[in-house]
Amino acid sequence: MTFEKVVGLIDAPFTPFYENGDVNLEPIPAYAQMLHKNGLQGVFINGSSGEGYMLTEEERMRLAEAWIAAAPEGFKVIVHVGSCCVRNSRMLAEHAQKIGAWGIGAMAPPFPKIGRIEELVKYCEEIAAGAPNLPFYYYHIPAFNGAFLPMVQLLQAVDGRIPNFAGIKYTFESIYEYNQCRLYANGKFDMLHGQDETILPSLAMGGARGGIGGTTNYNGRELVGIIQAWNEGNLELARERQNFSQAVINVICHFRGNIVGGKRIMKLIGLDLGPNRTPFQNLTDAEEAQMRKELEEIGFFQRCNQF
């Protein structure tokens, strides 16, 4: 099967919650419009940024329905369907295809740990079969699940075995391995770069065309701008935008990373998405004030996503 490859950046959105922890679907239409306005090409929902493993299956399906209903024309909705129960994952895949998602994806489960390529292939195979008409992406993020497996070997194993295997969301530090995956079978598979801090080297060495990011929620204009500057041959501007994006990441690393600190930044730019679910430790008011100060010091609010 041949699928359209992603060009540009897809956002990994946060899941909005009410103060009591219930899922809040109300912000999603405005959220989708804001991302689209700032140059994002779609969303990869219910993943790590969206606290997907902390949602019930019903909540995940409701979120998928809400995002598809809110998506502007041409805006891709990829649904993360991975879970510790492969039967639940397949059910979520079936649901995503039924409601008109653009694609599906799944990371390896945090339990049980997957330690062999065949185990991972079988996991992906069962899930992908639930949505045979949609592109399936494996979400490679070994820091979350301990699945430190060679991705070229995964491509070799799925090639010809999983008909709708489209590619990998590659969220790992090895630009070398990313490039080797890009080169496999003359670029057969779609390799979506997954680390906002290294978009520029992925373009220069890995020939990336698309990616999925988390800081794109609030810094998407600059991250999209890296690709634009590179395509225009303006390396100095691309470097400046990449360095600024790293400065933003340096700030959120002081405040428990993108899932916690980044989600609170959404409030600071005008879209309050509520708290994180337990066991995440939400920012205190004092931490929020300090984060705002550090963002102001790097000129963030003059360059961030705009409504």
- Each residue of 68-94: pLDDT tens digit? 999 999 999 999 999 999 999 999 999
pLDDT on residue 205: 86
Residues 112, 147: Cα–Cα separation, whole Å: 10
Chain segment 213-224, per-residue pLDDT in tens: 999 999 999 999
pLDDT recorded at residue 130: 98
Question: In angstroms, rounded to a whole number, what is the distance separating the alpha carbons of residues 114 and 112?
Answer: 6
Tokens at 33, concatenated: 């419009």
Please give the distance of CA 99 from its chain centroid, rounded to a whole number.
20
State the amino acid at position 201 in one-letter form: P
Domains of the chain as residue ranges with CATH: 8-235 (3.20.20.70)
Q: Does the pLDDT value for residue 255 go beyond 90?
A: yes
pLDDT at 207: 84
Q: Is the pLDDT of residue 1 over 90?
A: no
Task: Read off the pLDDT of residues 230-241 as tens digits, 9 standing for 90 and up.
Answer: 999 999 999 999
* pLDDT the model gives residue 292: 98
Residue 206 pLDDT: 79
User: pTM here?
Assistant: 0.98
Q: What residues act catalytically?
A: 139, 169
